[in-house]
Structure formats: C-alpha cells, structure tokens
Structure 1
Amino acid sequence: MNQQHNKNRAFGFMLVILGASFWGIGGTVAQKLFQQEHIEVGWLVSSRLLVAGILLIAIYKITHRHQSIFVMWRTKQDALRQILFSLLGMLAVQYTYMMSIAIGNSAVATLLQYLAPLFIISYYIIKKYSKLTKQDGIAVSLTLIGTTLLLTNGSFSTLSVPFMSVFWGVLSGLAVAFYTLYAVPLLQQFHSLLVVGWAMLIGGVTMSIFYQPWHIELSTWTLATTAYFFFIIIFGTMLAFWFYIASLHYLSPKETSLLGSLEPLMAVITSVLWLQIPFGGFQMIGTLLILCMILYLTVFQKKNL
C-alpha cells in the first residue's frame, strides 16, 4: 500500500512539475509574441482557450469512445460548478496574469501570482481545515523568498510598476488559489480532461464575445510566429493546465500550488537562454531555494500536508 502511495505521489509530482514548467515557458513565448507581433492580450487568451479546449475534449472522446462528453451538464449543480470553475478559475487565471504582464512586466506578474500558496493556506486555516504547521511555514518561506530573489535579483526597485499591474497580479494569485481549490470536487466526479477541456472552451467562448479569434491579420505572421502560437496552445495552455489539474488526484492543493513555483523558475531560465536576459547571483540563490522547497516536499511532506 505504501509503495503504491509513493508511486502515486511521484506521478503527481511529475505532473505538476511538467505543468508548471510548460506554463512558465509558455509565458516567455507569449512575451515574445506581445513584443514582436503586438498581439492583443484578449485575442491571445480567447484563441488559446478555444483551440486548447476543443483539443482536450476531442482527446477525451477519442480515448473514451463510449463515454459522453456532456456528463457534467446533466444536473444543474454540476453544470453551475463547472461554469464557475471555467470563469472564475480558468479564464480568470489566464486573463489576469496576461494583463499584469502587458501593463507591467512578467517578473512582477509572476511574483504576485505566486501569492497563491499563501491564499490557499490562509483559506485552510480560516475554514479550520488545518492549523498552521511548521512544515507550512518552511515551505511557504522557501517559496516566497526564493521566488522574490529569482524575479528581482535582490533589487526591489524592479517592482516599480503601474498600480493596475499590481492589481491584476494580485487577482491572478487569487484566481490560481480558487482554481486549485475548486477543482478538487470536480475531479472527484469527472475526468480531468473533461474538467479542463470544458473550462477552456467556456472561457474561450466568453472571451470571444469581446475579442474575436477570427479578427487577426495572418498575412503578417512568419513561420516562427505560427510556431510560437501553437507552442503556447499545446504546451503553454493545454498540457500545462491539464497536468496541473491532474496532479490534484495525487497531491494536496497546498503541495500542488507550492510546486507550481517552478513556473517562474522556468520562465527565468528560458528568458536567460533564449532572450539573453542576464542571470544574477541573487537569482541563483532563489533558484536553489525553490529546488530545496521541492526536495523538502518530496522527501518530508505527507499526503495530507
């Protein structure tokens, strides 16, 4: 039993690490599209959600031919839960994060998004689901200090951004917390492919009311632009969110949200290697702290963190 439990946890760690890594890399690629092609945030969000949502639902139908893709729409309660998750979770995470980047910069946006573990742990304590433990304190401290050093390189002057960037960034952190917590009861009833696929499709349809995906001048796109766009859809959206949500089958929401701090780590690494952004000593320390947090969770934390 313990051996199977350990295998399940290891699989959960692999899923969340891959999901967070894809999301972080996808953010860097999105930044490239914003800078080079001046693509609108709303258009990118609506397009990526629509295409990724359709693909995920199609994958589910191919792999589960005798199962209905409309299973969560059979009762009003399940349908309402899925809609709330789609709009306040999936769509909110996507749009608030991209808006924070567009108004300010990716470093501040990512840092503020990773207030999510604090929001989740605070929720657990307020609802009296758990008490603040020493393990929580260590994990959160490593996450916050490591992420702060990673994204600021020890200089808080880089946090000088417009108020609205901070506003959207904090909302992004709240959205990630809601997304992580609210997904659990849905996953207990429905397959993760359907939960994430429908969430993306609903979010994409909603955004399409304001930003129509078909309103784009493709004649100006290069082969590289097209490749970046589809990378964002397949890896930075579809696989990133599917793997992250699926990890909740094996890990607690607190563990998943803390391990999600690999996103800024991957964003910085890809920025350094691809965009040639300098990597300072404080950022190296931050990277090591995040890796220590991951090792700490892997070795010492229990399933019911």
Structure 2
Amino acid sequence: MKRRTGLFLVITGAIFWGIGGTVAQKLFQQSAIDVNWLVTTRLLIAGFLLLSVQFFGKDRSQILGVWKNRRTAVELIIFGLIGMLGVQYTYMASIKHGNAAVATLLQYLAPVMIIIYLILRKHTVLNRRDLLTVLLALVGCYFLLTNGSISQLSVPTLAIGWGVLSGLSSAFYTLYAVPLLKQYDSLVIVGWSMIIGGFALSFIHPPWQIDFTSLTTESYLYLVFVILFGTMFAFWFYIESLKSLSPKETSLLGCLEPLAAVLTTVFWLKESFGFFQWGGTVCIIGMILLLALNKKSTSIASKPFKKEKPLVVS
C-alpha cells in the first residue's frame, strides 16, 4: 500500500507539473495576464504554502534556522534570485511567446548543459553515454524547433531564446543548490527561494496591480491550478513519494512531465505539432530516460535524478 501511494504521488505530481505549464499558456492566451504578475504571484503563494507544510509536518526549526548562518543566508538569496526566479521567469516567458510543450522540453536540456559545463571545466571526461545524451539532445532540439526544415523555424525565436535560458537557469539551479540541500530540507530551500524570487519581482510588478474584475471565473480556476496544483502540490507530492520509492524510480516517472505538457498542448490547446517535432520529443524524453537509468555515471549531470533530495523547477 505504501508503494502504491508513492507511485500515485509521483505520477500525479509529474502530471500536475506538465499540465501546469499548459494551463499557464491558456491564461496568457485567454486573459492576457502579464508574465511578471503571474510569476510573482505563483512564487509568493507557493513558497508560503511549502513553508507551511514544513512548519506543520516536519522540522519547523529549519525555517528560521537557515537564516542564522550568514554564508548560508547569502547562498539562499543568490539561489532565490538567480536560480529560482531565473528558472521560473524564463520558463513562463518561453510559454508566453511559444507554447508549454516546447518550453518544457527545452528546460529539460539542463542535464546536457551540465555535462558540457563539466567537460569544459575538466571535471569529467566525455564517455559514450554522455556523447549519446548530447547527440539525442541536439537531434531532438533540431527536429523540435525546425520540424525537419532547415530553411525556417517552427517555433518563435523569442520562445526558443527564453527556453534555452530556462535550461541554463535550471542547470545553475541544480548545481548551486547541492550544498544547501545537504544541510536543510528541500521544502525549506525551495519555499524560501520562491518567496525571495517573488519578493524581488514584486518591485517590477506588484501582485496587487491587476484588474481582477477583468478575470473570468474560468481564469481564476486556471490561476488556482497553476499556483496550487502546478507548483505547490506537484513539488510536495514528488518529495513525499521518496518516502516509499527510490530516487531513480521517482526520476523515471518524473519524465511524465514533458509528456503531459506535449499531450495537453496538442490535444487541449490544439497547437500544431509536426511529424518531426514528435520525433524530437521522443529524442529528448529518451535523453532524460538515459540519464535517469544511468547507474555508473561519474557526471554530476546525473545527480538531479539520483540524489535523495531532488530539486524540481517547473
């Protein structure tokens, strides 16, 4: 029963992440909601809720304890501003200018970017598995963004730019957070980083500066889904699943996120997706599975799929 509960939690969490991006795209299209406002509101509310879960369910002393060490406090602020805010903003901007499917798949290129970074810094050597991973990512991106036509892009340039920045931010997010996660629970680190990022962005677009009367009931329901289910519950369920499943199992099932994003974008929002784009999607999901199944990789790029306290960014 415990294992079944874990499977239900990780599958539900991954699907929530994937659908959350598609629902955000629907909000942008239907309600003309500003990206800055959505990211600010999403981060502040979800961060507060995650810290509330920590307060009532785990070691509440960590919530304030993380600020008592000056070095840790500075690292958390940097992580919140560059890591969390960087990932969330670039991801949403990519959705705004393109679609949730492409944005999610481009963000999942982060492990490949980490591999390339480590090789350039001579922290690891390129092995056959890493080479196959990079090739799958490159081929997948080519088909995804061009639909097999060299002469033109099938995705807006801005969407591609923000998506690549999302992958880079995700790579930084993953590498930078490792020392923090060794000292504190994931809910504490992610909860505070969301609040820090949301607070910083609120100076650009305060969450109260929106014409709420222009939002329909449907828009409010979409907002609730993006903030609660697509962010707070998705992360919480993923972390809780680790109590009954191995990190490898949760990582493999987490691959349902890009699949859910693609399927809901195509079949719910009726976005066109060509034959070669489906092929590119298969390549990128195959790359994710290859990394998740890697038992002996010496690359840090595999750690987001193997460590005990995985971070998620969508």
User: Is 1:194 aligned to 2:188, yes or no?
Assistant: yes
Report the Cα distance in structure 2 between the residues aligned to 1:128 and 1:247, rounded to whole angstroms. 35
Against the structure 1 CA distance between its residues 63 and 153, is the aligned structure 2 distance closer, same or farther, given a 3 Å change threshold?
A: same
**Paired positions, count:** 290
Distance 1:117 1:141 in 2: 13
1:74 matched residue in structure 2: 68
Is 2:85 the counterpart of 1:83? no
Instruction: Show the 5 A alignment for 1:32-47.
Output: 32-47=26-41
Q: Any gaps of 5 or more consecutive residues in structure 2?
A: 300-314
Q: 2:156 aligns with which of 161, 185, 192?
A: 161
Q: Give the one of 274, 282, 298 matched to 2:276.
A: 282
8 Å Cα contact 1:92-1:175 kept in structure 2: yes
Distance 2:177 2:12 in 1: 18
Aligned mate of 2:173, from 179, 192, 216: 179
Q: TM-score, normalised by structure 2?
A: 0.78
Residue 61 (structure 1) shift: 0.3
Distance, in Å, in 2 between the alignment partners of 1:128 and 1:173 is: 21
Indicate how the Cα distance of structure 1 residues 188 and 18 shifts in structure 2: closer, same or farther if over 3 A, else same: farther
Q: Percent identity?
A: 52
Query: For 1:207, which of 190, 201, 204 is the aligned residue?
Result: 201
Which residue number in structure 2 is paired with residue 22 of structure 1? 16
> How large is the Cα RMSD of the aligned pairs?
3.4
- 2:118 and 2:236 map into 1 onto residues whose CA distance is 24
Q: Which residue pairs with 1:135 in the alignment?
A: 129
Could you report, residue by residue, the CA deviation over 1:38-97 in whole angstroms, capped at 9, with x for unpaired residues?
000000000000000000000000002653411110111000110111010000111122
> Aligned in 2, Cα 1:211/1:277: closer, same or farther, shift over 3 Å?
same
Q: Assess if the C-alpha contact under 8 Å between 1:107 and 1:151 holds in 2.
A: no
Q: What's the CA shift string for 1:182-219, capped at 9, x where partnerless?
A: 11111100000001000101111111111111122222
Do 1:46 and 1:208's aligned partners in 2 also have CA atoms closer than 8 Å? yes
Give yes or no for contact 2:62–2:188 (8 Å, CA) kept in 1.
Answer: no
- 1:84–1:300 distance in 2 versus 1, CA, 3 Å: closer
**Counterparts of 2:127 and 2:65, CA distance in 1:** 39
Question: TM-score normalized by structure 1?
Answer: 0.80
- Tell me the alpha carbon deviations over residues 23-44 of structure 1, each in whole angstroms, 9 at most, x when there is no partner: 3321111110011000000000
Distance 1:184 1:30, change over 3 A: same
Assess if the C-alpha contact under 8 Å between 2:112 and 2:133 holds in 1. no
Q: For residue 132 of structure 1, report the CA deviation from its aligned partner.
A: 1.1
Structure 1: stretches of 5+ with no match in the other structure: 1-6
Alpha-carbon distance between aligned partners in 2 of 1:97 and 1:288, rounded to the nearest angstrom: 20
